[in-house]
Amino acid sequence: MSRTAMRASEKDFENARNQLKLLMKDPGNEVKLKLYALYKQATEGPCNTPKPSMLDFINKAKWDAWNALGSLPKETARQNYVDLVSSLSPSSESSSQVKPAAANEKQPGSENIIVTSQDGITKIMFNRPTKKNAITTSMYKEIIHALKAASTDNSAITVFTGNGDYYSSGNDLTNFTDVPPNSIEETAKNASILLREFVDAFIDFPKPLVAVINGPAVGIVVTLLGLFDVVYASDKATFHTPFSELGQSPEGCASYTFPKIMGPAKAAEMLIFGKKLTAGEACARGLVTEVFPESTFQKEVWTRLKAYAKLPTNSLRISKELIRSNEKEKLHAVNAEECTVLQGRWLSEECMNALMNFVSRKSKL
């Protein structure tokens, strides 16, 4: 039977609603928005409620998703709802629709940040590949904790890297969207405090800090590179800080470190206009130490790092201290200022619009 000829009955619709309650895995915000919109369209017809205020993130996203369905007939919405639920059910997950990466999603016992210590190297790995290693609030806290532990463990150097095709897509944008409207200001304040503590942990880190950039890097994981001692990148890595596009502003001390590293004009191109750099361009600007072909990247980099980790540990520490200590006070002041400015940005209409666009980009069916 052709798809257009199919019509879900009331019973199919009811079954789909019950099936949804049994889903083991959270389908994610975008799918939930689609389901919400289709349900409303199937039961009430075209969107008939006033548009919620800009500050009412969640209801505005729901309204946008419903409104985007326009005059879609109730029966079609009902069928699309049934089809969507069916595509999420465990039986279809076990079919060929299952993406190989699903095995890497957070399961009980698995971690979004993996810390290992071997051969004198503490490795802190972003491990949320299905979300391009976007950093959630709890991941920021785990990283602060991991850095504190690494600063006193037996390792000589500490390395950040990412699992999967991305190094990291930066801040998880849903950190700011799953917030009830009456706690937006408090959320912005708490995020600013957390961000300050997070960046301080990098400024104060006493051992050589190395980034192994395995793929694209976005936002805060790029700005932080100014606080790393060495940055190795695969030639498939890119470096992107789309702050203006997001109605936000630089953090990670980049407003200070980037102009020092690459000069004010090149820094402005990245931090103000969001120019995305290739690994080669980032290397030419001094943000990246060396670029390796993807085919030999892991082997070459880890061989080199293992050799470096055999150097006398105290000497490594002392040399880093000499290079960085003069800047520490300034960096803490820059960090504080950037966090204050960002707190204001997160409450701005420009930022709220950008976040809503991200959340609802795939819910416009």
Ligand X SMILES: CCCCCC/C=C/C(=O)SCCNC(=O)CCNC(=O)[C@H](O)C(C)(C)COP(=O)(O)OP(=O)(O)OC[C@H]1O[C@@H](n2cnc3c(N)ncnc32)[C@H](O)[C@@H]1OP(=O)(O)O
Contact window for ligand X (CB under 6 A) among 4-12, 37-45, 108-116, 173-181: 173-181
State the Cα–Cα distance between residues 216 and 122, nearest whole angstrom: 22
- φ/ψ of 121, rounded to 5, equals -120, 125
Q: Give me the DSSP letters along 59-127.
A: HHHHHHHHHTTTT--HHHHHHHHHHHHHHHSHHHHTTTTS-GGGGGS--TT--SEEEEEETTEEEEEE-
Binding residues among 14-53 for ligand X as defined by CB under 6 A: 28, 30
Q: Which residue is nearest to ligand X (CB)?
A: 219
Contact window for ligand X (CB under 6 A) among 129-137, 151-159, 226-234, 255-263: 129-137
Among 113, 173, 210, 224, binds ligand X (CB under 6 A): 173
CB of 241 to ligand X, least distance (A): 7
Contact window for ligand X (CB under 6 A) among 9-17, 214-222, 304-312, 314-322: 214-222
Among 174, 234, 238, 343, binds ligand X (CB under 6 A): 174
335 in contact with ligand X (CB under 6 A)? no
127 in contact with ligand X (CB under 6 A)? no
State the Cα–Cα distance between residues 219 and 20, nearest whole angstrom: 35
Measured from the Cβ of residue 53, the count of other Cβ atoms closer than 10 Å reads 11
Size of the site for ligand X (CB under 6 A): 24
171 in contact with ligand X (CB under 6 A)? yes
Among 246, 287, 309, 352, binds ligand X (CB under 6 A): 246
253 in contact with ligand X (CB under 6 A)? no
191 in contact with ligand X (CB under 6 A)? yes
